[in-house]
């Protein structure tokens, strides 16, 4: 539970930070001038305007928690703790494969995903209530909080410092016995990582497939978010798009992997074990994240900028490229970074559609974990962390994150 909680914190942060970035300082200043305290401003102005970000981020974290597979598989089963996703994996990995049992086990998650889609509609209602941009600079200025700094530092130590430190100690050990011997530290495990072609090929595959998938998912998510926000004239199409986009969250990745395995391993589409089928799986799994994040950003923008652009004579394409996309840069940066992190670490669905000759970082890490090569696993994990960090840095820089604007 602790590992899952730390992992899901990042998802909620990306949604909420995007919402914070779009809140108009005029609203906060008006509340302060009217005599409201800082606490009052937060609960009466800031928090209500963050409702779309909190709803989308909270429900995404909830569905991801319900569909957790990695932690329960690697840690839970050793302690006799099973969840729905691990039972489903057993059903589709045994011989003969029992797809009917796997589908039955996953049906509660599917029903819960549908319920979440409906509940989001009920909680949010009319999106126009949450428009936060105004006619002048909307970036709020506030004093830094020492309490927030302390909380961030504590989180960083628990969620990053201690795990990375443990990985570093194990990766430098020739073998792991549970005790630390600095005198025996060696870089042999890292040399083996870059010497074995299977590991280096998996790293290249992960980078290539993840970048292609992000490049496809971002524009598809933008179109889907636009339909969800502007498709009031076509309620049937809007409802269908909302359902299709939300379903990958309600259906565990192991089920998607099994479905793609069955679909693309026989005529007329024989793509099993290729990069193409992994890209298809990745894009499908990422649609909810890119759509929800961009939709939250669009809700905050409102219609004023688009209407002003259209009134000035600009067409839909020019309005989108010169008005909407620049204003959504922080949101796009967050969506790209989030998807890249998820995809470079993904192995649940990849485990079923990969071939021995087409590995990604998640599957190669799982294979070595199963062989008990813990120091080598730690070295691979650190390399994965560095690769992911570099990818996030590039994504935020290219998309124009506020961090790089300030730098």
Is-above-0.75 flag for pTM? Answer: no
pLDDT of residue 212: 92
Q: Within the chain, which residues score under 70 in pLDDT?
A: 22, 92, 97, 99, 125-144, 231-233, 249-256, 258, 262, 265-266, 273, 395-396, 398-407
Q: β-strand 265-266 against 269-270: which pairing, if any?
A: antiparallel
pLDDT of residue 216: 93
DSSP state letter for 258: H
Select from 109, 360, 100, 88 the least CA-distant residue to 211.
Answer: 360
CA–CA distances in Å: residue 262 to residues 47, 259, 389: 45, 5, 34
Q: Which residues contact 362 (CB under 8 A, 6 or more apart)?
A: 206, 344, 345, 346, 347, 348, 350, 351
pLDDT digits (tens, 9 = 90+) for 119-160: 877 777 655 566 555 544 445 556 667 888 888 899 889 888
Pull the structure tokens for residue 367: 């294979």
User: Cβ(245)–Cβ(287) under 8 Å?
Assistant: yes
Which domains does the chain show, CATH number per domain?
2-132+145-173+187-406 (1.10.3720.10)
Residue 407: is it exposed, middle or buried by C-beta count within 10 angstroms (0-12/13-18/19+)?
A: exposed
pLDDT of residue 100: 77
pLDDT of residue 247: 72
pLDDT of residue 332: 84
User: Cβ(238)–Cβ(228) under 8 Å?
Assistant: yes
pLDDT digits (tens, 9 = 90+) for 22-38: 677 778 888 888 888 88
């Amino acid at each position: 539970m602790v590992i899952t909680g730390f992992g899901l914190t990042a998802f909620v942060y990306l949604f909420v930070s995007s919402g914070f970035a779009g809140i108009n300082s005029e609203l906060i200043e008006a509340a302060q001038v009217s005599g409201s305290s800082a606490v009052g401003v937060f609960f009466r102005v800031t928090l209500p305007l963050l409702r779309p970000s909190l709803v989308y981020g909270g429900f995404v974290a909830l569905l991801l928690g319900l569909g957790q597979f990695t932690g329960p598989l690697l840690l839970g089963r050793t302690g006799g703790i099973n969840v729905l996703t691990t039972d489903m994996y057993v059903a589709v990995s045994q011989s003969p494969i029992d797809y009917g049992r796997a589908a039955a086990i996953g049906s509660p998650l599917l029903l819960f995903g549908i319920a979440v889609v409906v509940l989001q509609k009920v909680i949010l209602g009319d999106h126009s209530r949450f428009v936060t941009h105004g006619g002048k600079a909307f970036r709020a200025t506030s004093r830094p909080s020492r309490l927030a700094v302390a909380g961030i530092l504590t989180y960083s130590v628990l969620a990053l410092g201690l795990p990375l430190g443990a990985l570093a100690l194990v990766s430098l050990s020739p073998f792991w016995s549970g005790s630390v011997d600095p005198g025996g530290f060696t870089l042999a495990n890292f040399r083996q990582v870059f010497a074995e072609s299977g590991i280096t090929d998996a790293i290249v595959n992960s980078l290539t497939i993840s970048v292609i998938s992000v490049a496809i998912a971002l524009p598809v998510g933008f179109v889907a978010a636009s339909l969800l926000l502007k498709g009031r004239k076509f309620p049937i199409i809007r409802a269908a798009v909302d359902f299709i986009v939300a379903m990958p969250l309600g259906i565990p990745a192991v089920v998607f992997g099994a479905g793609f395995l069955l679909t693309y391993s026989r005529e007329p589409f024989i793509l099993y074990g290729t990069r193409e089928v992994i890209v298809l799986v990745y894009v499908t799994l990422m649609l909810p994240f890119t759509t929800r994040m961009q939709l939250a950003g669009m809700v905050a923008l409102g219609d004023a900028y688009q209407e002003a652009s259209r009134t000035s004579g600009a067409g839909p394409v020019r309005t989108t490229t010169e008005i909407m996309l620049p204003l959504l840069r922080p949101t796009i940066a967050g969506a790209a970074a989030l998807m890249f992190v998820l995809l470079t670490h993904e192995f649940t669905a990849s485990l079923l559609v990969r071939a021995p000759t087409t590995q990604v970082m998640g599957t190669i890490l799982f294979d070595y974990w199963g062989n008990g090569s813990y120091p080598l696993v730690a070295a691979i994990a650190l390399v994965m962390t560095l690769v992911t960090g570099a990818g996030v840095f590039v994504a935020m820089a290219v998309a124009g994150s506020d961090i790089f604007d300030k730098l």
